Amino acid sequence: MTIPFDKLTPTPITYDKEMKLKTGSWRTFKPVIDNEKCIKCFICWKFCPDVSVIVEDEDSFPEINYEYCKGCGICAHECPKDAIDMEKEV
């Protein structure tokens, strides 16, 4: 069965490109990586739901893209070395 478009429940969607939505402005806490503790396992990169952990190559430390990071804290929770602190935004 196909539901006619005008019968669908209204849903909030974007008509614009996702990259234009700078979701970093939603953040209350921001992840800060301590490179002294980081072992470059890149689990943070794998778990970030916003693709906001940037890995240039396997020799580089991961970096956070603060334009899009929403501050959910998943990367900090999953880091096996406790190398990511969630710091309050000022």
Least distance (Å) between residue 5 CB and ligand SF4: 33
Sites of contact with ligand SF4 (CB under 6 A): 31, 33, 38-44, 48, 50, 52-53, 62, 64, 69-75, 79, 81, 83-84
Length of the chain: 90
Which residue lies nearer to ligand SF4 by CB, 2 or 69?
69
Least distance (Å) between residue 16 CB and ligand SF4: 20
Residue 64 sits at φ, ψ, to 5 deg, of: -100, 135
Which residue lies nearer to ligand SF4 by CB, 12 or 80?
80
Which residue lies nearer to ligand SF4 by CB, 5 or 69?
69
Provide the sign of the torsion angle of the four alpha carbons 64, 65, 67, 71, taken in this order: negative
Alpha-carbon distance of 60 to 52, in angstroms, equals 15
> Do residues 70 and 24 touch, judged by C-beta distance below 8 A?
yes
